[in-house]
Amino acid sequence: MTIPEYIASQLFIRGVRYVFGIPGGPSIPYMEAFRKAGIEFILTSNEAAAGIMADVTGRLTGVPGICHSTFGPGATNISTGVGGALLDRSPLIVFTSEMGDKMINRTTQMNINHQKLFEPLTKATFRMNESNAKDIIEKAFRISLDICPGPVHIGLPSDIAEMETDDLPEPEPVTDSCNEISSNDTVRITDLLENCRSPLLAIGLTAARSGIQENLLRLLARHKIPVVLTPMAKGVLSENHECYAGVLFHSLSDYLNELFEVTDLVIGLGYDPVEFNYESWVPDVPLIHFDRKMVDMPMSEKIFQYAGEASGWFDLLMHLDKSTLTFNYKLVEGIRNEMWAVFDGFTNHFGPAAALKAIRDELPADAIITADVGSHLHLAGQFWKTGDKGKFIITNGWSGMGFGIPAALAAQLNKREATVACITGDGGFLMMAGELVTAKRYNLPVIVIVFSDGELNLIKVKQSWKNISPYGTILYQEDLFNSDHFLGVKVLHADSVETMQKALIKALSVNEPVIINAVIDPEDYQWLIVRR
């Protein structure tokens, strides 16, 4: 086989069904090889969207998402999505066209060093040649999928597409790049667990990825312990569970301080500091961090780490003494109810709280929601109810605006029967508006709900915290769309709860992408976003 044929066959065998990107001239042999292998090339409007779609595909399928770009500007554009996969811990492989050996070190059009570009954005970067194709593909998948998933870059020199792979050597063994040897202080950890009275569980991204739900529910059935989640762990525990207290960092999370005041031990389960560093919120009590690997944290006599499989976490947690634990149900319930009461108090006019409540009431319980970065995310991250069936997809480690729309397209591609909706601000929408054409091209019936307030509200709020007048935050003066169609996609307008409900019912009834332009009063944000 030629190198493109070999790559395509290996991708298909390993479960890849989509490659996202924008081609250049050297991409043509690879695209043809993908087509013949049964892999669909999804043409996006911007390479950054291709990276995000590959990221979300990796999250949903467990198979590395694949994206591709051409030289120079194509590579720099796609790097935004690749960086997201690094800090949001998503398995991804990015291929970029590169100059051949004769031109790689020359001054020539669109030529930059892709290995240097992607080195800080990936777990590994390779340049393929006629002798290492098998080895690189093997390494890329193993590294991308190991215990701390992430992106791998492979450069494809423009002059290797016609080379054949018949005589290539077999791949060399690859060790797990995150499988470090650690000395777990199980004696001290056991002692802390046996002697605590009011522990708190803080569950994070690694736990969500590790599928701990069954073990967690069994633990909470035996030991009633308050639980807080990081934003990307949302959905690990139903918001209706008696032990659920709330989401860290997001809207009204300062209400959780009352719980922290009575905590004598924090137990982190798969807590990834990339979302929210422990020291930003943990009270002055011992901390046990359970994870698949050791993480960097400030040195302290009160911090203990255990690195190992998730089953080992729960084996150690059996040392909790049920007879001495005190679960203040009224406190946890009170915090939860008070947060919801404050939120509901803002639903008597058409602001973000009322709009979010209307969306939650109309969409099915198993809907997949993607949320872009901005003020609205702080509300959705705390108050969107995933329950036992729903899925809530965001970026938090990377926190790049523009995530919502391409994430929704990827979710719809991979979950064709699901109801998929994107909640985005108008700033994030404008960054990825061109992907509505992608949605039309592939008949992806996503519902894109734009919270339109004409400004970069989160920046405006942060300026107000510093007593600075709003500056550089106004996006537009009049209606964002001023039309019933945008790039061929129907636009439904909402400026009240009633019109929002009608728009959602209409959007759910058609098998095509729809935009809902929700013109909201943004003043709620000033009161609902926690100052950090």
- Give residue-wise pLDDT tens across range 357-410: 999 999 999 999 999 999 999 999 999 999 888 899 999 999 999 999 999 999
Task: Please give, one letter per residue, the 3-state secondary structure of 382-425.
Answer: HHCCCCCCCEEECCCCCCCCCCHHHHHHHHHHHCCCCCEEEEEE
Mention every residue, 6+ apart, whose C-beta is less than 8 A from residue 69. 21, 22, 24, 47, 50, 75, 77, 78, 94, 95, 96, 97
Q: Evaluate whether 278 touches 302 at the Cβ level (below 8 Å).
A: no
Q: What mean pLDDT do residues 146-161 have?
A: 94
Helix (H) or strand (E) holding 447: strand 447-452
Structure confidence by residue, pLDDT tens digits, 318-340: 999 988 999 999 999 999 999 99
pTM, two decimals, is: 0.95
For domain 345-528, which architecture applies?
Answer: 3-Layer(aba) Sandwich (3.40)
pLDDT of residue 178: 47
pLDDT given for residue 355 in this prediction: 98
| Contact criterion met (CB below 8 Å) for 406 and 44 | yes
User: Which distant-in-sequence residues (6+ apart) come within 8 Å of 482 by Cβ?
Assistant: none
Could you give the 3-state DSSP secondary structure of residue 457? helix
Per-residue pLDDT at 122 exceeds 90: yes
Reported confidence tier of residue 181, pLDDT bands at 50, 70, 90:
very low
Residue corresponding to tokens 């597409």: 161
For the chain, give every domain's residue range: 3-157, 186-330, 345-528
Antiparallel, parallel or unpaired: β 489-494 and 485-486:
antiparallel
Within this chain, domains 186-330 and 345-528 share the same CATH topology: yes
pLDDT tens digits, 277-294 = 999 999 999 999 999 988
Tell me the mean pLDDT in the region 245-271. 97
Task: Please report the pLDDT score of residue 167 as a whole number.
Answer: 61
Q: Specify the CATH number of the domain 186-330.
A: 3.40.50.1220
CA dihedral 120, 124, 127, 131 (to 10 degrees): 170
pLDDT the model gives residue 172: 60
Rg (Cα) of the chain, in Å, rounded?
A: 24
Counting Cα atoms < 13 Å in the Cβ hemisphere of 330 gives 0
Under CATH, what is the fold of the domain 3-157?
Rossmann fold (3.40.50)
Looking at residues 82-107, what average pLDDT do you find? 91
Whether the pLDDT of residue 177 is over 50: the answer is no
Is residue 65 within a helix (H) or strand (E), and if so which, with residue range?
A: strand 65-69
